[in-house]
A and B are shown apart, each in its own frame.
Chain A
Amino acid sequence: MWRYILNRLFWAVPVLFLVTLVTFTAMKLTPGGPFTAGTSGRPLPPRVKAQLNEIYGFNDPAWKQYLNYMGGLLRLDFGPSYKFRGRTVNDLMFQGGLLKAPLSVSAQLGLVAVGVALVIGIPAGIVSALKQNSWLDYLAMFVAMMGVSVPNFVLGLILIWIFALTLHWLPTYGWGETPLQAVMPALTLGTGGAAFIARLTRASMLETIRADYIRTARAKGLRERVVIWRHAIKNSMIPVVTILGPLLAAWLTGTFLVEYVFSIPGIGKMYVTSINDRDYTLIMGTTVVYAVALVFFNLAVDIAYVFIDPRIRFD
């Protein structure tokens, strides 16, 4: 198992290298540099532009800029931000520490959303499967269908309209001041996932409860509750866990919109604004952080398999 983990981590290195190379190339090919427009929204005087290009090493050939960047990256130095003068990318991405750094904020949002998705999705899927073809099943699957089809931001705006503008129950924006701020973003992000998980759980559960070993369990005289909880759920969760890794990854990208709509200072919002700002180093930094996070999530899910499905061993 350790060998497997080390192996995966080893292979992450060329993947990350490729990510930086592709991103860097894409940025260099993108017309319009970071110092074309001043932050005032006016053209930057040529003299200032020349000064900035000198300060940030833009006069070097592209390969040298890349090597310089990679050299810094090896020391975990993501370089200076181009938009936020005087701030480094490290400042922007990690400032605020464990609780308030953008990556941490996104992770908190992601976790709450995963929680929402699992807490809603799994029971809904199980109930649907157990009461197959009942009105409960139809209702749950109709809602799930809606949940899958309604785009995140539309749901977000609907929630704002209901809970902020009409009922005045929940705050509209921000993160970390009050738990109430988490409600709408987590629901927005989580319901899509909940719907997806509910459908997956239902399908998986339907398959599981027809399995021979469930009949075996019943033949032992076990109560239905025990049959479901002990024998069916863990088995039916295997496909759900399988999809959880890619889903978490999708959520990371999904948080872009949710963080944007609810103005949550996470890394998704930072990523979007850094692209708009042409803040090359911040784009690179957030991309690398994303890539690392994805590798990490994939690994974590792989490891989770071992615990849920004894048939899998990494030898």
Chain B
Amino acid sequence: MISNYRRLSILPLLAVVAIALVVAACTPAPPPPPVPTTPPVVEEPTTPPEVEIPTRVGLRAVDDFTLEITLTSPQAFFDSILAFFTTYPTRLDVINQFGDDWVLPGNLVGNGPYVLSEHEPQDHVTLTANPNWWGAPFTIQTFTQPVITESSTMLAAYENNELDVSGFPSAELPRILEDPVLSQEFHILPRPGVYYVGFNTNRAPTDNFHFRAALASSIDRRNILDNVLNNPWREAAQGVIAPGIPGYQGTDTGFAFDPAAAQAHLQLYIDDTGQTCTADSPCSFVVDLWFNQGNEDVLEAVAAGWTENLILTDADGNEIAAVHATTVRMEWAVYLETLDQCNATPDDTALCDYNAYRLGWVMDYGDANNIVNEVFAPGSPFQYTGYESAEVSGLIDQALTERDPAARAALWTQAEDLIVTDLAITAPIFFYDRQGLIKPWLDFEFPPFGAAFIHEWGFVEGVAVPVGVPEGMGVDTIRSGSTAEPPTLDQALATDTTSHAIINNLFAGLYKYEPDGSITPYGALSYEVSEDGTVYTVHLNPDAVWSDGTPVIAQHYVDGICRMLNPETAAEYAYVMYYILGAPEFNSGEAVECG
């Protein structure tokens, strides 16, 4: 009996191990990786060729309340970065005292309106009002972010009045829009960003402009938004610069859905490449479209559009040429790894056997630099088209140094036209937005970039809160569901919305974003820029104190930026600060000082 039973009970044990094996087995195997040589070095797009290596990173605490930032060249959009989390001040003494545990409740010291009072991993994070807050008093005393991984459970919790703010599974959207209550609590807010298909310019047939133009013209974006995503309010994208960002062009750039024009481009491609396509021997062009799991609906519709619209017939109506789109779906990490390997070895045609791939970009700050340059500049690590264009690079360099806002926007516009129209290296599909359910008693606001400032929220007068809700709801507490545990509360390492929803309220940067996209002083009072546009002098608010009561000084900001740039920190967003003199070198481990 015992031996029998033992045999039985080993099964679940094996099952546990099997799960790990199944993950391995079910993920499509990637092409064999290239023989590793040295780590691939990709030239960062915004690093101008520096002849002289500076000895110090261009950061200086002039006095306790004056911070000086020296840039490599005049970067006119840099004020946007003053509102980015990469400039948060940091208390190195706290980090040195607690080590990795400095982010735990009780240890973490911030300069924002809230302090971290509870953090139970996989369960919830709770913030409470900072007793040493140096700004104006506010209403919301407690902010709790419970982790509810399953989005349908989150929606149920919201409907059961356990949450003030909630996401929802996309399958529930039609019900939400029809529900008399939920439809009133459903909000669409701006979140500039673009969802796009990029083309591999190193592989036939997408190595030809006309073929890419044919593909870009045969995507029925409106149909995808209206009928596939059920998001009819979203704007179809022809360019990459999102609405609300200076330089946005609407339908004045890129390719609209136009099957006739698409077919004309396909004919031009055939002529270009000297192929003969007849009814007797029709041409067939295969397009391999890669995407990651979760985008099946949109990308299958894109592929169907290509296959259905790109058919050429002769005068008798006989088919002479046709495009056949095939789709390959991959798990996210596998997808990126495969694309990355391909970017490292663009000539490896066996590895890079895609013609088109899908990615998206949600903007970090309100300047087109964040998308046109950081994503679509030739050689950017964030795109996989393999295109080269001295013209685009030249326009980007010009835009970076152009200090007149209108002229700069015009330069971004020109660069965008090249990328999406003249070169057609990408076919944008639609612009993102932010969707959520918010209880009617909340007076809320979201800036277009980054997370909400909870201390600016309040309650709507006269809206009653149902009985039986959790304590404090509708009085002084907000509960906002999150589908993930925040990966980290270390501001140098956090790059995701979940972590930022917390950190954004624990720390105060120099400036902050308003709902209209403008920036206003936060930890700073004002700044001025030197004549040549390379030196930013920021005057700090002398009233600002940390949650332990000590004053916030300029050195804390220097420490924060230097820690982020330190290669030992391995911060994902370090590159955002590369416009600072010496920053890329310091981040690459060269002998440059910071601090």
8 nearest CB pairs, A to B: A32-B333, A249-B12, A40-B495, A265-B122, A265-B123, A51-B570, A172-B157, A32-B334
Measured between beta carbons, the chain A residues less than 8 angstroms from B156 are 160-161, 164-165, 172
In the assembled complex, B340 has its CB within 8 A of some CB on chain A = yes
Measured between beta carbons, the chain B residues less than 8 angstroms from A92 are 121
* A residues 227-269 in Cβ contact with B at 8 Å: 242, 245-246, 249-250, 252-253, 260-263, 265-266, 269
Docked Cα-Cα span, A164 to B161, in Å, equals 9
Bits for A120-147, please: 1 = Cβ < 8 Å to B, else 0: 0000000000000000000000000000
In the assembled complex, B571 has its CB within 8 A of some CB on chain A = yes
* B residues 1-39 in Cβ contact with A at 8 Å: 1-2, 5-6, 8-9, 11-13, 15-17, 19-21, 23-24, 27-30, 39
Q: 12 A-B pairs, CB-CB below 8 angstroms?
A: A30-B23, A48-B571, A51-B567, A242-B1, A252-B16, A262-B153, A263-B153, A275-B20, A275-B23, A294-B13, A298-B6, A302-B5
Interface centre among A23, A32, A261, A291 (most CB of B within 10 A): A32
A100 contacts B8, CB within 8 Å?
no
Asked if A173 meets B148 with Cβ closer than 8 Å, knowing A26-B21, A43-B381, the reply is yes
A26 contacts B24, CB within 8 Å?
yes
In the assembled complex, B468 has its CB within 8 A of some CB on chain A = yes
Chain B nearest Cβ from A194, distance in angstroms: 19
In the assembled complex, A113 has its CB within 8 A of some CB on chain B = no
Chain A nearest Cβ from B313, distance in angstroms: 41
In the assembled complex, A283 has its CB within 8 A of some CB on chain B = yes
A85 contacts B123, CB within 8 Å?
no
B20 contacts A50, CB within 8 Å?
no
Q: Which residue of B lies closest to A80 (CB)?
A: B100
B20 contacts A48, CB within 8 Å?
no
Asked if A171 meets B382 with Cβ closer than 8 Å, knowing A39-B494, A40-B495, A283-B20, the reply is no
Docked Cα-Cα span, A253 to B15, in Å, equals 8
In the assembled complex, B120 has its CB within 8 A of some CB on chain A = yes
Chain A nearest Cβ from B393, distance in angstroms: 18
Bits for B152-186, please: 1 = Cβ < 8 Å to A, else 0: 11101101111000000000000000000000000
In the assembled complex, A44 has its CB within 8 A of some CB on chain B = yes
- Within the complex, which residue of A88, A273, A291 is in contact with B13, where a contact is CB–CB below 8 Å? A291
Asked if A269 meets B20 with Cβ closer than 8 Å, knowing A36-B333, A39-B496, A86-B103, the reply is no
In the assembled complex, A179 has its CB within 8 A of some CB on chain B = no
A33 contacts B337, CB within 8 Å?
yes
In the assembled complex, A73 has its CB within 8 A of some CB on chain B = no
| Count of residues in B whose CB is under 8 Å from the partner chain | 83
Interface centre among A19, A102, A246, A253 (most CB of B within 10 A): A246
A48 contacts B103, CB within 8 Å?
no
B488 contacts A86, CB within 8 Å?
yes
* B residues 31-83 in Cβ contact with A at 8 Å: 39-42, 44
Asked if A305 meets B2 with Cβ closer than 8 Å, knowing A40-B495, A250-B12, A261-B153, the reply is yes
Q: Which residue of B lies closest to A30 (CB)?
A: B24
A290 contacts B16, CB within 8 Å?
yes
In the assembled complex, A46 has its CB within 8 A of some CB on chain B = yes
Measured between beta carbons, the chain B residues less than 8 angstroms from A278 are 333
In the assembled complex, A186 has its CB within 8 A of some CB on chain B = no
Q: Which residue of A lies closest to B13 (CB)?
A: A294
Residues of A in contact with B (beta carbons under 8 Å apart): 15, 19, 22-23, 26-27, 29-34, 36-53, 55, 83-88, 91-92, 95-96, 100, 102, 157, 160-161, 164-165, 168, 171-176, 242, 245-246, 249-250, 252-253, 260-263, 265-266, 269-270, 273, 275, 278, 283, 287, 290-291, 294-295, 297-298, 301-302, 305, 312, 314
Asked if A263 meets B13 with Cβ closer than 8 Å, knowing A100-B120, A275-B20, the reply is no
Measured between beta carbons, the chain A residues less than 8 angstroms from B121 are 84, 87, 91-92, 95-96, 102, 265
Q: Which residue of A lies closest to B33 (CB)?
A: A31
B9 contacts A37, CB within 8 Å?
no
Q: Which residue of B lies closest to A267 (CB)?
A: B122
In the assembled complex, B540 has its CB within 8 A of some CB on chain A = no
Q: Which residue of A lies closest to B5 (CB)?
A: A242
Q: Which residue of B lies closest to A311 (CB)?
A: B1
- Within the complex, which residue of B17, B30, B161 is in contact with A168, where a contact is CB–CB below 8 Å? B161
- Other A-B contacts than A43-B340, A96-B120, 19 sampled, CB-CB below 8 A, are A26-B24, A31-B28, A31-B30, A37-B336, A38-B495, A45-B44, A86-B490, A87-B121, A91-B121, A157-B152, A164-B156, A171-B160, A172-B153, A172-B160, A173-B154, A249-B12, A273-B122, A275-B19, A312-B1
Measured between beta carbons, the chain A residues less than 8 angstroms from B29 are 31
A38 contacts B572, CB within 8 Å?
yes
Measured between beta carbons, the chain A residues less than 8 angstroms from B157 are 164, 171-173
Measured between beta carbons, the chain A residues less than 8 angstroms from B484 are 273
Asked if A46 meets B120 with Cβ closer than 8 Å, knowing A38-B495, A242-B5, A263-B146, the reply is no
Chain A nearest Cβ from B477, distance in angstroms: 14
Chain B nearest Cβ from A50, distance in angstroms: 4
- Within the complex, which residue of A47, A283, A312 is in contact with B2, where a contact is CB–CB below 8 Å? A312
Measured between beta carbons, the chain B residues less than 8 angstroms from A22 are 17, 20-21
A160 contacts B153, CB within 8 Å?
yes
B495 contacts A39, CB within 8 Å?
yes
B490 contacts A29, CB within 8 Å?
no
- Within the complex, which residue of B9, B100, B120, B575 is in contact with A86, where a contact is CB–CB below 8 Å? B100
In the assembled complex, B298 has its CB within 8 A of some CB on chain A = no
A32 contacts B336, CB within 8 Å?
yes
B336 contacts A30, CB within 8 Å?
no
Measured between beta carbons, the chain A residues less than 8 angstroms from B2 are 302, 305, 312, 314
Docked Cα-Cα span, A91 to B499, in Å, equals 18
Docked Cα-Cα span, A146 to B454, in Å, equals 47
